[in-house]
Structure 1
Amino acid sequence: MKNILITGGAGFIGSNLALKLISKGYQVTVLDNLSPQIHGEYPDKSSGLYNQIKDKVNFIEGSVTSKSDWMLAIKNQDVIVHCAAETGTGQSMYEIEKYVNVNINGTAIMLDILANQPHQVKKVVVASSRSIYGEGKYKHADFGFIYPKHRTSGDMDTKHFDVKYCGCDNLELVATDEESKIHPSSVYGITKQNQEQMIMTVCPTLGIAPVAFRYQNVYGPGQSLKNPYTGILSIFSTQIKNGKGINIFEDGKETRDFVYIDDVVDATILGIEEDAADGEIFNVGTGVPTDIISVANGLISNYGIDTTVTITGKYRIGDIRHNYADLSKIRSKLGFEPKYSFDKGLKNFTEWVATQEIEDDNYAKSIEEMKSRGLYK
């Protein structure tokens, strides 16, 4: 299986995956619409992600919402790695039609072609997301493992940010495994759940092996510093480099599992190459939760720039409190082990950011968009 199509292959994960596959001797085709939100208005000049692959892959500028673009891209491919998606929890709560059209309808078009047109595709790997777990998994002293409902505005307005279950908030956070309850708290999460389920359901009926990777919060050198809707490390970095203070949501104690780009690429290649991955769903992360205050302080320390950090108590509708990955399954079935601790990965990331031009800080605009719709409080 030497011919691989990567949708969204000019994006952060897709472009890094493309380069690693090329180094291993694969022939890579990329289908990408070069979204200005990620690549800027003139990708040839402003997008490092695009420029690092454009002369090394068969590049098709097009959209996953176009059947003709899909038909062109799928021709002669052995494997499809489906990364193309609109991303951003907050933005998804008001750009609903766009997120559904790209993430769900785009995937449906691909599957419709595979079901009804001649092709040679043998495997489809989908970039799923930890967002489908919603508020994640906890342990209750009386009820055992439980899955709390989404937090309410009523609680968060009074600065009570922890999840509750049956009135109890003294819950023990545990790692989320692949058998955990699926209950996304954002439109983005719903669309990723739908993508994953369609692929895992349809592909086996066509004799195509499906593989799904539920990525945690991916970061690293090359991450878009232009996009104010995703990537807290990029958002904070742009604010620091612009001499602005960092405003942290809630109480700063919310946690995420930050996984380095090289580890994500390595895990994805295991999914492409290993038969043991066929028909399976895997978490990809580090298995370590890191709170947002630690992220901010780590960035400030690495940049050596004195920056004000404000714990605002503000919150976004659709955000979760905590989530981190249980890696037992991907370790046992694929032998995956993350190589990068957060400290090591953060050092690499900040060293790269220091070499980049300072981008305009558009984060305030994105917050105003949410605030005007009652999604930021």
Structure 2
Amino acid sequence: MKKQILITGGAGFIGSNLALRLIEKGHSVTILDNLSKQIHGDNPHVTSPLFQSIQNKVNFIQGSVTSRADLLRAIEGQEVIVHLAAETGTGQSMYQIEQYVNINIGGTAILLDILTNSTHNVRKVVIASSRSIYGEGKYKSDELGDVYPSHRSEADMTAGDFEVKFPGATSPLKLVATDEDSKIHPSSVYGITKQNQEQMVMTVCPTIGIAPVALRYQNVYGPGQSLSNPYTGILSIFSTLIKNEKEINIFEDGKESRDFVFIDDVVDATILGIEQEAADNNVFNVGTGVATDVLTVVNELFTNYQKEVPFKISGNYRLGDIRHNFADISKISSKLGFKPKVSFTAGIAKFAQWVNLQSIKEDKYAESITEMKEKGLFK
């Protein structure tokens, strides 16, 4: 059944891909987006392929989720809201705290305030949550069973000891998949804001007759993601360094791991959240259920670009970074029938093919590291 769907932050990487797929399925899409320079460049009509991809296909409103007037205009006539609008840099969030809180928490608060205190047609809100709310992943201890280690100490990491520890566990901890009932203990301001967004939506919406759905996205990647924004993740950062023939600095010992999920699979999962009633009032992990370490990422990129650059395993680290996390996706698989279709190997190949067609600009990664050093967050 055709629905009127609003996507906040819909000109971004996930939002634009989602919008195009929803249109293919016959839905009517409105997008509210502020066209942030960090994501879309100085002149989005020219510098942002993401914006260009949706520009004439949706009802586009340039505005901010921190503006009540913009939100009121965008919400009019909508039946479903997919709330993607957010500041997204984990490291950046540790020194642009007011900005992250204002956009992520403040914007969500205004949205929910409007839904609570005005007349509208909204019946479902899908909130883009994040694996960052978990903080460090889930582990098993021979002595203690399931454990959730706290943030690693600066002293240990300075000494080159990057693995997690847990009081009372004497044997090495075994990494296991993080399920939705795992402990939530975010290690960054970004993670805290995403936890807050999720909790507000899941708490408020049922009281006003709106079905909430929270999707905890893992590390999303694929063609179309920004190659110039240093806060979009290591695949973009490393690709830009390789293309510019610059050395790659691999933090810690290169064995830290994440769950990388391809954009098409994320769009599939989000549409299931929109269209299926079985999703209502539920929280779901969205990932692949596979942990991939940083050294594997580097080697896959070298293979796909048929090009290598020098790299060093430096032992540098960022305060607030976690060691490991990958998703248990059994809940979304059983309730919604979600199964990721794109393996990391296949996804990297698709991503690299796309990167090879792009004009690679000077990266801003070094600037972001300098900022973090100045704030005492990069060691």
Q: Secondary structure, in 3 states, of the residue corresponding to 1:89? A: coil
Aligned length: 377
Note the C-alpha offset of 1:306. Answer: 2.2
Supply the distance in 2 between the matched residues of 1:112 and 1:288 (Cα, whole angstroms): 38
1:135 corresponds in structure 2 to 136
Query: Is the contact between residue 10 and residue 84 of structure 2 (CA under 8 Å) also seen in structure 1?
Result: yes
Supply the distance in 1 between the matched residues of 2:303 and 2:246 (Cα, whole angstroms): 15
Matched, 1:103 2:104: yes
Alpha carbons of structure 1 residues 77 and 169: separation in structure 2 relative to 1, 3 Å: farther
1:282 corresponds in structure 2 to 284
Matched, 1:233 2:235: yes
Aligned-residue identity in percent: 69
Scaled by the length of structure 2, the TM-score of the pair is 0.99
2:150 corresponds in structure 1 to 149
Q: What does 1:7-18 align with in structure 2 at a 5 Å threshold?
A: 7-18=8-19
2:58 corresponds in structure 1 to 57
Matched AA of 1:250: E
- Aligned with 2:208 (options 191, 199, 206): 206
Supply the distance in 2 between the matched residues of 1:217 and 1:228 (Cα, whole angstroms): 15
Q: What does 1:179-218 align with in structure 2 at a 5 Å threshold?
A: 179-218=181-220
Matched AA of 1:263: D
1:273 corresponds in structure 2 to 275
Task: Give runs of ≥4 in structure 1 deviating > 4 Å.
Answer: none
Task: Map Cα deviations across residues 228-261 of structure 1 (whole Å, 9 max, x no partner).
Answer: 1222100111111111011111000000000000
Query: Is the contact between residue 162 and residue 169 of structure 1 (CA under 8 Å) also seen in structure 2?
Result: no
Supply the distance in 2 between the matched residues of 1:306 and 1:215 (Cα, whole angstroms): 30
Matched AA of 1:99: Y
Note the C-alpha offset of 1:304. Answer: 1.1
Note the C-alpha offset of 1:326. Answer: 0.3
Note the C-alpha offset of 1:112. Answer: 0.1
Query: Is the contact between residue 138 and residue 147 of structure 1 (CA under 8 Å) also seen in structure 2?
Result: yes
Q: Secondary structure, in 3 states, of the residue corresponding to 1:69? A: helix
1:79 corresponds in structure 2 to 80
1:220 corresponds in structure 2 to 222
Q: Which runs of 5+ in 1 are unaligned?
A: none
Query: Is the contact between residue 225 and residue 232 of structure 2 (CA under 8 Å) also seen in structure 1?
Result: no
Note the C-alpha offset of 1:290. Answer: 0.2
Q: What does 1:108-123 align with in structure 2 at a 5 Å threshold?
A: 108-123=109-124
Scaled by the length of structure 1, the TM-score of the pair is 0.99
Query: Is the contact between residue 285 and residue 327 of structure 2 (CA under 8 Å) also seen in structure 1?
Result: yes
Supply the distance in 2 between the matched residues of 1:161 and 1:349 (Cα, whole angstroms): 30
Q: What does 1:336-347 align with in structure 2 at a 5 Å threshold?
A: 336-347=338-349
Query: Is the contact between residue 246 and residue 308 of structure 1 (CA under 8 Å) also seen in structure 2?
Result: yes
Query: Is the contact between residue 150 and residue 166 of structure 2 (CA under 8 Å) also seen in structure 1?
Result: yes
Q: Secondary structure, in 3 states, of the residue corresponding to 1:228? A: coil
Q: Which runs of 5+ in 2 are unaligned?
A: none
Q: Secondary structure, in 3 states, of the residue corresponding to 1:319? A: coil
1:93 corresponds in structure 2 to 94
Supply the distance in 1 between the matched residues of 2:243 and 2:68 (Cα, whole angstroms): 42
Supply the distance in 2 between the matched residues of 1:35 and 1:283 (Cα, whole angstroms): 27
Q: What does 1:20-59 align with in structure 2 at a 5 Å threshold?
A: 20-59=21-60
Matched, 1:313 2:322: no
1:254 corresponds in structure 2 to 256
Task: Map Cα deviations across residues 151-200 of structure 1 (whole Å, 9 max, x no partner).
Answer: 11011000110000016461000000000000000000000000000000
Note the C-alpha offset of 1:18. Answer: 0.1
Query: Is the contact between residue 142 and residue 171 of structure 2 (CA under 8 Å) also seen in structure 1?
Result: no
Supply the distance in 2 between the matched residues of 1:116 and 1:75 (Cα, whole angstroms): 14
